[in-house]
Amino acid sequence: MTDTVLVHTREATQGSIGIITLNSEKTLNSLTLGMVQTIRRQLLAWQDDDTIALVLIEGAGDRAFCAGGDVQQIYHSAISSRNGACEYAESFFQEEYRLDYLIHTFTKPVACWVNGIVMGGGLGLVAGASHRIGTETTRIAMPEITIGLYPDVGATYFLNRMPHKLGLFLGLTAASINLSDAAYVGLINYSAPAGKRSEFLHQLSQQQWQSGTNRPANSAILDELLQTYAVSAPPAGNLEVLAADIEAACGRDGLKEVIAAIAELDGDSAWLRKAQRGLQAGSPLAAWLIYEQLQRGANLDLAGAFQAECLLSTNVVRYPEFTEGVRALLIEKDNTPKWQFPRIEDVPAKLIETFFVAPWVRNPLSGLIPTPVKGK
């Protein structure tokens, strides 16, 4: 059986690079609980190893960096535990958030080679990296609304920090964005041609890295190297030209008004029309959860955001909307989910509130991530 995570070190002229490869091309490198645990253990070991100057995370193959979590395994966990805790699913979310938080706070540079498809949990790995390297093939999306879920993996934190309320728009519409869009909203901060990956790895090994305790020096070396790899002709973006209109729509007072305004956005843009269709087809309950998630989490710090998502994900996976969405889109693939509520107006306010009530006495992330969730 092929290892789904490959780990090795690469010696440089001075110092070493730790390399993690997501190695499940058949599933577009989707994350399982075992993969998440393996990556986290290795990062913790490298964080304490002064010979490791930096870490590179990549995905095997050319199609995807990581298409998210293995939603089918989470689905089977949920349907087998309808009236109680979903052991695998809840463990997956907790371990995934611990890993993502570790990447955000890692004491050494972390570079992600963000090639091809990046969705959901894959974006959780990318968002916390210090050097997020997109290519001309990069396609990023958080399509959780289409399966009755919501954007997690720290999205409460990073979607709220995008300009022009674009985070809310991307969460509600499941819109896919390219390299230029990802750079505009801050998800990508460097670029390189997709065909240069092997050369880039070789160049990493030609550097004189400092001790692993000298993050500023190693970050500067990596910065300088990446300046030589920028994509010369990035694809045309969609977000910047629509930013003012999207901001006006997403700034409306209330979810119903926001959704109506997004539907009314006009322009000669096939990308915008597809985004509008994504919102229309998505779960009305999930739309409310996304809106409330970002409203309630607007002032949370990083640790608080992950704690809030741990709470929300636990409640969501125990509710049948998520399993119905996965059934329709990924299991039976009839593409006709039977949502609990057909319209935004039909979702009871009291039900929405229950998703933000802790289902346990103590948040599972409160020990590892000590910062309390504000307002809870």
CATH number at residue 344: 3.90.226.10
Kindly state the average pLDDT of the residues 286-298: 98
Q: What is the pLDDT of residue 80?
A: 87
- Within a domain: 369: no
- Within a domain: 374: no
Strands (E) located in the chain: 5-11, 16-22, 52-59, 64-66, 110-114, 117-119, 131-134, 139-141, 190-191
- Within a domain: 13: yes
In this structure, the chain runs to a length of 376
- Within a domain: 154: yes
- Within a domain: 142: yes
Q: Token digits for 245? A: 């209109």
Number of domains in the chain: 1
Write the CA distances from 90 to 18, 35, 156, 204, integer angstroms.
29, 15, 18, 37
Kindly state the average pLDDT of the residues 65-78: 93
Q: What is the pLDDT of residue 357?
A: 98
Q: Is the pLDDT of residue 272 over 90?
A: yes
pTM for the predicted model, two decimal places: 0.95
- Is the CB of residue 258 less than 8 Å from the CB of residue 222? no
Q: What is the pLDDT of residue 374?
A: 39
Q: Token digits for 297? A: 């989490």
- Is the CB of residue 56 less than 8 Å from the CB of residue 109? no
Where in the sequence is the domain holding 171, given as residue range(s)?
5-354
Q: Is the pLDDT of residue 371 over 60?
A: no
- Within a domain: 168: yes
Q: Token digits for 222? A: 């990596």
Q: What is the largest CA-CA distance in the chain?
A: 63
- Is the CB of residue 134 less than 8 Å from the CB of residue 191? yes
- Within a domain: 57: yes
pLDDT in tens, 192-248: 999 999 999 999 999 999 999 999 999 999 999 999 999 999 999 999 999 999 999
Q: Is the pLDDT of residue 268 over 90?
A: no
370 band by pLDDT with thresholds 50, 70 and 90: very low
C-alpha–C-alpha distance, residues 88 and 94, integer Å: 10
Q: Is the pLDDT of residue 85 over 90?
A: no
Strand pairing of 110-114 and 190-191?
A: unpaired
In this structure, which long-range contacts are made by residues 214-222, counting pairs with CB atoms below 8 Å and at least 24 apart in sequence?
Answer: 215/107, 215/108, 215/109, 218/15, 218/53, 218/54, 218/108, 218/109, 219/109, 219/130, 219/131, 222/54, 222/109, 222/111, 222/131
- Within a domain: 93: yes
